[in-house]
Amino acid sequence: MQWLAENAAHITAIVSALAAVLAPLVAVFIFQQFSPVAQIRIIPRWIDQSYGKFALRIEIENKSKVRIRHKVALLQVLRYSLSERKRLSEWVPFAKGRVIEGEEPIEWKEPEQIFRSTVHIYPGEVIATERLEQIEEPDQFLHIGVQYKSHFVFRWLFTSVLAWEECWTTTAIICRPEATRA
């Protein structure tokens, strides 16, 4: 007992130091367990290759252990000319003012909202939609972007401090099959 009394200050300092090191690690681990994780997939399925018609399937999967609170999902489909384009970045703009100089599409289209009736995506759940698209000219291709935004899980905790939202984006480039045979 006397040893414990003599070394109480040292023991307290060691325990405090361990707590100071371990607490942030535990906090990050717990935060990661309750953070939403979504995976977006863009899947084209050709219906009529000669007319450039295909079904565009969009899937959003909740890969996390928590329910994702849906905010908005946007689909952007922009047309470009193959003959006028030597390169195109992965960037798909969701606002006209965000188009990269030199990467202007043939015609600007505003993004469309998809999954309007979705309120939540539960752990392991996959929501999907399909729509018909067409690449009208063999010399054209589509640059497609899907952006999914959700409300932050701990939004109630940070309402006055942060205007936080989770956001995931994926892109795809789709050409007519005959345009890729050269």
**What are the pLDDT digits (tens) for 59-101?**
999 999 888 988 899 999 999 998 888 889 999 999 999 999 9
Residues with Cβ within 8 Å of residue 155, at least 6 apart in sequence: 69, 164
For residues 16 and 47, membership in a common domain is answered with: no
- Residue 42: CB atoms within 10 A of its CB come to 17
121 & 154 share domain: yes
Q: What does the pLDDT look like over 113-172, one tens digit per residue?
A: 999 999 999 999 999 999 999 999 989 999 999 999 998 655 555 554 555 678 999 999
Residue with tokens 């030597």: 86
CATH code for position 70: 2.60.40.10
Instruction: Give the span between the Cα atoms of 144 and 79, in whole angstroms.
Output: 9
Asked if residue 84 and residue 17 are part of one domain, the reply reads: no
Banded pLDDT at 109 (limits 50, 70, 90): very high
Whole-number Å distance between alpha carbons of 5 and 10: 10
pLDDT at 8 (0 to 100): 77
pLDDT at 49 exceeding the cut of 90: no
Residues 137, 141, 147: CA angle, nearest 5 degrees: 135
Residues 83 and 121 in one domain: yes
pLDDT for 179 equals 54
Read off the pLDDT of each residue in 29-45 and give the average, rounded to a whole number: 86
Burial class from Cβ neighbours inside 10 Å (0-12, 13-18, 19+) for residue 48 reads exposed
pLDDT, residue 156, reads 52
CB 97 within 8 A of CB 110: no
C-beta neighbour count of 149 within 10 angstroms? 15
Give residue 27's domain range.
2-31
- Claim to verify: residue 24 and residue 108 sit in the same structural domain: no
Report pLDDT for 180.
57
Checking if the pLDDT of 181 tops 70, the result is no
The pTM of the full predicted model, rounded to 2 decimals, is: 0.78
Q: What is the number of structural domains in the chain?
A: 2
Q: Does 83 share its domain with 126?
A: yes
Non-local (6+) Cβ contacts of 170 within 8 A are 40, 41, 42, 145, 146
Mean pLDDT, residues 5-27 taken together = 82
What are the backbone dihedrals phi and psi of residue 23, each rounded to the nearest 5 degrees, phi first? -60, -45
